[in-house]
Structure 1
Amino acid sequence: MNIHIFQHAPLENDTGAINHWINKGNHKKFYTRLYADDPFPSIDSFDFLIILGGPMGTYEEDKYVWLIKEKEFIRQAVNAGKKILGICLGSQLLADVLGAKVYKNNKKEIGWFPVTLTPDGRDHALFAGIENSINVLHWHSDTFTLPEKSIRLLESEACVNQAFLYETHVLGLQFHFEATPDSVISMLESDSESLSISSDSVQNSEEMLNNLHYSGKSNEILFTLLDRFLAL
Structure 2
Amino acid sequence: MRVLILQHTKGEHPAAFADHVAAAGDAAHVVHLYLGEGLPDLAPFHAMMVMGGPMDVWEEDAHPWLVPEKRAIAAWVRSGRPYLGICLGHQLLVEAMGGQCAKMAVPEVGVMPMDLTEDGRADPVLSRLPGATDGPVRVMQWHGVEAVRLPADTAPLARNANCPVQAIRVGRRAWGVQFHPEITEDLCAYWMKDPGNRATAIDWLGSAEAADRFAADSEAHVPTALRNSAALYAGLREAALEG
What TM-score results when the alignment is normalised by the length of structure 2? 0.88
| Residues 1:172 and 2:172 are matched in the alignment | no
| Residues 1:157 and 2:161 are matched in the alignment | yes
Letter in 2 for 1:146: L
Letter in 2 for 1:204: A
How many residues are matched? 230
Please give the alpha-carbon distance, in whole angstroms, between the structure 1 residues aligned to 2:214 and 2:56: 26
Q: 2:220 aligns with which of 213, 220, 232?
A: 213
2:107–2:204 Cα contact (<8 Å) kept: no
**Cα distance, 1:199 vs. partner?**
4.6
**Cα distance, 1:124 vs. partner?**
2.8
Aligned to 1:63: 62
Mark the runs of 5 or more structure 1 residues left unpaired by the alignment.
Answer: none
| Residues 1:41 and 2:40 are matched in the alignment | yes
CA 1:224–1:198: 2 relative to 1, 3 Å: closer
Letter in 2 for 1:151: A
Please give the alpha-carbon distance, in whole angstroms, between the structure 1 residues aligned to 2:24 and 2:79: 24
Q: 1:195 aligns with which of 201, 218, 240?
A: 201
Aligned to 1:6: 6
SS at match of 1:136: strand
Mark the runs of 5 or more structure 2 residues left unpaired by the alignment.
Answer: none
**Cα distance, 1:19 vs. partner?**
1.4
Aligned to 1:224: 231
1:112–1:208 Cα contact (<8 Å) kept: no
Deviations 1:182-221 (A, max 9, x none): 2111111121111223659x95222431452222122213
**Cα distance, 1:3 vs. partner?**
0.9
RMSD: 1.9
Q: How does 1:50-129 map to 2 (within 5 A)?
A: 50-126=49-125, 127=127
SS at match of 1:32: strand
Identity %: 26
Instruction: Give the 4+ runs in structure 1 shifted more than 6 A.
Output: none
Please give the alpha-carbon distance, in whole angstroms, between the structure 1 residues aligned to 2:191 and 2:3: 24
Letter in 1 for 2:36: D
**Cα distance, 1:11 vs. partner?**
2.5
CA 1:74–1:124: 2 relative to 1, 3 Å: closer
Q: 1:186 aligns with which of 183, 187, 190?
A: 190
Q: How does 1:19-30 map to 2 (within 5 A)?
A: 19-30=18-29
Please give the alpha-carbon distance, in whole angstroms, between the structure 2 residues aligned to 1:228 and 1:30: 19
Please give the alpha-carbon distance, in whole angstroms, between the structure 1 residues aligned to 2:141 and 2:170: 22
**Relative to structure 2, which stretch is displaced further, 20-29 or 117-126?**
117-126
**Cα distance, 1:158 vs. partner?**
1.1
**Cα distance, 1:134 vs. partner?**
1.7
**Cα distance, 1:129 vs. partner?**
7.7
2:189–2:215 Cα contact (<8 Å) kept: no
Q: 1:148 aligns with which of 152, 155, 158?
A: 152
Letter in 2 for 1:2: R
What TM-score results when the alignment is normalised by the length of structure 1? 0.91
Deviations 1:141-196 (A, max 9, x none): 00113222111111122111010011221110111111122211111112111122
